[in-house]
Amino acid sequence: MIKRVLIIGFIVLSTIISSAQSRVVSELNSNWKFQRGSIENAHAVDFDDKHWETVSVPHDWAIYGPFDKEVDKQLVKIEQNAEEVATEKTGRTGALPHIGQAWYRTEFSLPEFEKGKKVMILFEGAMSEPKVYVNGEMAGEWNYGYSYFYFDITKYVSKRNNKLAVQLTNRELSSRWYPGAGLYRKVSIIVKNQESIDQWGTFITTPYISGDLAKVNIKTRVSGEKLKLVTHILNKDNDTIASSRSNVIFGNEFEQNVAVPDPKLWSPESPYLYTAVSRLYKEGELKDEIRQRFGIRSIQYDAKKGFSLNGKVRKFKGVCLHHDLGPLGTAVNTAALRRQLTILKDMGVDAIRSSHNMPSLEQLELCDEMGFMFLAESFDEWAKPKVKNGYNRFFETDAENDVVNLIHATRNHPCIVMWSSGNEVPDQWGAEGVKRAKWLQDIFHREDPTRPVTVGMDQVQATMESGFGALLDIPGLNYRVHLYEEAYERFPQGFLLGSETASTVSSRGVYKFPVEKAKMKQYDDLQSSSYDLEYCDWSNLPDDDFVLQDDKPWVIGEFVWTGFDYLGEPTPYDEMWPSRSSYFGICDLAGLPKDRYYLYRSRWNTREETLHILPHWNWEGREGEITPVFVYTNYPSAELFVNGKSMGIQKKNNSSPQNRYRLMWMDVKYEPGTIKVVAFDETGTIKSSEEIHTAGKPYQIKLESDRTSLKADGKDLAFVTVSVVDKNGNFCPTATNQLQFKVKGNGTYRAACNGDATSLEMFHVPTMKLFSGKLVVLVQSTEKQGGIDLVVTGNQLKKSSLSLQSID
């Protein structure tokens, strides 16, 4: 399918209705042909691809597996983890078959193409090193798999039967995590007049804001002469509230200042969005039109107040996110991103860091809409390598172009409040690294003077000595909590950012005994304890960061590693097979919250109550043994009962970071039955209670969907949480039943995930084992409206079904 959007006046249409349209944007999303391997002369005009696979784009070819320990097996020492000896890392990049070459091909027609028109092709992400051929001619190539890029293909195309071919090459030893493979973000064709607004040519800022008026500055780069630009500002109801007209052009740029009355400010709590509609005329004829959403907001960083949004001091309550979407791989999907952000919003998160690469445009659009501040990151490597075939190969030649494209493509998103030019780059050492840091920061400042720049620094001592950290707008510390005080004293900025924090590891619903703090702890089952007391060589527990956030006004917030588990980097089991995904997530790979979710929620979600008990209470064989109980709550104290007998009242206190933020009963002995917690406020008044029961044998499957209606666009998703309960309806937390999934009607089975970092079951096959009693099934809409039925079955279990609707 080629989806066309035509711009005519203020109307957005999906079909061609006039020869006077100014711009046509066509998304190339379906009927692509795909083939793995090197194909001789595959870019030629005449080719036989009838035996190739037909796919839709966005597409990640590697997510379909199978998992294989030999894929990109890396014999390395990870220097940023202070490793001194090279060891075999089998699951470092996810053990999925992303290495190698592949081709994508499709055909498209351009009925709107005629003399005087310009045709552009836009890629929002292609993994990796894409070479683009149009009608057998190379139209261009790019190197960075995370970059957005476009080419002018006017001279290669005609109205009918254009053939597009894209060659991709993923090299071994090119990543530290699962990078994905393929055309994993959107591909679009843009047809416009020669006299037109340049690609990403609009830059909107709000340099003055008062209670009754905001100045909106709009710079618009254009091509052509004797042009006039008319811009209208629309509110969220699409009413025109301000306008500006200009025929004065400086070089190739218009500059307009528009007064917006009674401005509604953008913030995480109230993410109000305006739309600027810019129309370009020549001698009274409409030549181009674009619509650009933006927000009115102010940001400030200073030594006295730290970070302020709209004049109010606040601290970032952020998480880091890798770009994969669990069982979907890296193929971008708006429904999956929205679900992630909805889960994080409930936890109280107000900021996202794209780690360690350029974010998808869909993610930024959702953050604008849903209210998340954003730290947009660019690179994980500069000139010095972390992995042999990483970005270091391209840094000297490509870095400026990649940064410019990042800024130009995303700078109008109000959610972005700072840029990051790098993460834990080995260039932190030495004078050359200081020069590179300044060079990159100067590019960001040149292209966007309104936002500051940071780098995630793990070699903090070295950056204090070299001046690297001192030159940054915002010094970002990755871990190194023991150096915060010294860094604050030595860096001149007057504040620090926890650009990456915690790296606490856990497996959802898995608990280990004895319960104690441990570094790089390993177990025979290759899981980590969900008592949230285990961490890595370089990192720490969440509570250590909480202390800094709460006690040091000069610490302006944190970005936790990570919001969700991701494919690859299975620390602390990166030398052990079959571990193939991370344990860092606050939520698991399926998006199911771990216990740690509620620890953060108890601090960050200030609107709603949090009261969460761990562990589960099914411990056959541990009768009479010490089984500590933790409670994560926003209340200051609580009383615990085991089968009605009080275990005493615990109060939060400052005796240790853990006692300050958790309630812990360390001497509880397990006996089957019921554990109950009663929470008290500051006056000792009972405010809430929660209880857990020992479950019997698994009896029935339970289904809960995040939504009941899907859009009939062939892309929308419902995420159905599948669990097992006993005859009394009690959740069975240790169930590992093998389940089967079937989708009928106007939907399809898309994938399943159980969050187990050691599972080798393929996501797209409609069967999977429960992990800690749960998994998630993804149901995808078709392009037809009507009912969708999901049926889940398992041996010796009462089956369950769920009805959804696919709507227009």
Distance CA 699, CA 702 (A): 10
Whole-number Cα distances in Å, 459 to 93, 428, 487: 24, 7, 11
Whole-number Cα distances in Å, 280 to 8, 221, 229, 246, 808: 12, 11, 5, 10, 33
Q: Are 701 and 724 in contact (CB under 8 A)?
A: yes
- Helix H or strand E encompassing 487: helix 484-490
489 is a catalytic site residue: no
Amino acid at 104: Y
Which DSSP symbol is given to 358?
P
Which DSSP symbol is given to 481?
G
Residue 198: is it exposed, middle or buried by C-beta count within 10 angstroms (0-12/13-18/19+)?
A: middle
- What is the residue whose two structure tokens read 């090197």? 38
500 is a catalytic site residue: yes
Amino acid at 35: Q
Distance CA 640, CA 508 (A): 23
Of 289, 381, 500, 569, the active-site residue reads 500
Distance CA 441, CA 420 (A): 9
Distance CA 479, CA 476 (A): 9
Q: Which residues contact 439 (CB under 8 A, 6 or more apart)?
A: none
Q: Are 244 and 255 in contact (CB under 8 A)?
A: no
Vertex 111 angle, CA 109 and 112, to 5°: 125
**Count of beta carbons in the 10 Å neighbourhood of residue 727:** 12
Q: Are 412 and 294 in contact (CB under 8 A)?
A: yes
Amino acid at 602: S
> What phi and psi, each to the nearest 5 degrees, are found at residue 575?
-105, 10
Q: Are 627 and 706 in contact (CB under 8 A)?
A: no
Whole-number Cα distances in Å, 715 to 7, 331, 743: 24, 11, 15
Distance CA 313, CA 421 (A): 25
> What phi and psi, each to the nearest 5 degrees, are found at residue 439?
-60, -45
Of 195, 362, 377, 424, the active-site residue reads 424
What secondary structure does DSSP assign to 586-606, as a single string? SB-TTS-B-HHHHHHHHHH--
User: 202 is written with which tokens?
Assistant: 């609009």
Distance CA 92, CA 72 (A): 8
Give the bridge partners for 260, in sequence order: 214
Q: Which residues are catalytic?
A: 424, 500
